[in-house]
Amino acid sequence: MNSSQDTLFATPFTQVSDFQFDNKVVGVFNDMIRRSVPGYGQIINSIGDLADKFVTKNSHVYDLGCSLGAATLSVRRRLQDRECHIIAVDNSQAMIARCQENLTSYVSDTPVDLICGDIRDIQIHNASLVILNFTMQFLAPDDRDNLIKKIYDGLNPGGLLILSEKLYFEHTAIQSALDELHLDFKRANGYSELEISQKRSSLENVMKPDTLPQHEYRLKKQGFENFNTWFQCFNFASMIAIK
């Protein structure tokens, strides 16, 4: 997936505006997410491995907040002859346009319905896999319960939800230690203090991470009895929940 280097926050702004998944972000997104989210590449690969284990014949796979289609492509590579259908959704028109180009670059017999829309309005049914890879954190906290309930209801028995999120920690010293390790990861990937602090301000109002106990409580409350974290690096985690 080609991408320019992310320098969006490298020059000083008089006022930092709220983060948006617009054309400018789309152009650098692949570089941005790989240099910002520890373990992103491994998570994308493992989503393909999990798809291989959980996706059943003639079922649906949902990639909610698909961005450029990284998770969809990873899944699709593993699903030959499964006769299933992938539904990939994002509410950024710019992301969807670039995602379409990425999907058409690879041949596959698994059809993908690419939908520009809000994941809160999408119906889910006959699903063997639902992916929320760093998407739910951008929803208003009050909308998260309904989304998880809708996913639970739309999954077939034995179906899998993959939920990757940035985490917040209640304990002040733990929060600050893991946050600092994340910042060191960004520094090691070439981001300056200015880039780090301007991006942080830009995300402040639009990305609200939950704690791990909040995720566990929500998943259980909405019906998922089987839940575990399968990946964590610093303050980023990916969870699986099975219906």
Ligand X SMILES: C[S@@+](CC[C@H](N)C(=O)[O-])C[C@H]1O[C@@H](n2cnc3c(N)ncnc32)[C@H](O)[C@@H]1O
End-to-end CA distance of the chain: 33
Among 133, 97, 132, which residue's Cα sits nearest to residue 114?
97
Kindly state the greatest CA–CA separation across the chain: 54
| Contact between residue 161 and residue 215 where contact means Cβ atoms under 8 Å apart | no
CB of 83 to ligand PRE, least distance (A): 32
Binding mask 148-167 for ligand PRE (x = CB under 6 A): ------------------x-
Question: Does the footprint of ligand X cover residue 38 (CB under 6 A)?
Answer: no
Angle at 135 between CA 112 and CA 167, to 5 degrees: 145
Cβ nearer to ligand X, comparing 69 with 159: 69
Instruction: Check residue 70 for interaction with ligand X (CB under 6 A).
Output: yes
Strand-strand pairing, 127-133 and 112-116: unpaired
231 forms part of the interface with ligand X (CB under 6 A):
no
Q: Is 200 helix (H, G, I), strand (E, B) or coil?
A: helix
Contact partner at residue 73 from ligand X, ligand PRE, none, CB < 5 to 8 Å by partner kind: none
Q: Which residues of 73-85 are buried (b: 16+ CB within 10 A; e: fewer)?
A: bbbbebbeebebe
Measure the CA–CA gap between 128 and 85, rounded to whole angstroms: 10
Phi and psi based region of residue 226 (left: phi greater than 0; alpha: psi -120 to 50; beta: remaining) = beta
- Our CB check for ligand X shows the closer of 41 and 158 to be 41
Cβ 47 to ligand X shortest distance, Å: 8
* 144 lines the binding site for ligand PRE (CB under 6 A): no
Q: Where are the alpha helices (DSSP H) in 189-236?
A: 193-204, 212-221
User: Quick check: 191 binds ligand PRE (CB under 6 A)?
Assistant: no
Q: Annotated binding residue at 91?
A: yes
One character per residue 31-70, x = contact with ligand PRE (rule: CB under 6 A)? -xx--xx---------------------------------
Annotated binding-site ranges for S-adenosyl-L-methionine? 40, 65-67, 90-91, 118-119, 133, 200
Binding interface with ligand PRE (CB under 6 A): 32-33, 36-37, 134, 166, 199, 203
Binding residues: 40, 65-67, 90-91, 118-119, 133, 200
Give the footprint of ligand X on this chain (CB under 6 A): 21, 33, 65-67, 70-71, 89-92, 95, 118-120, 133-135, 138-139
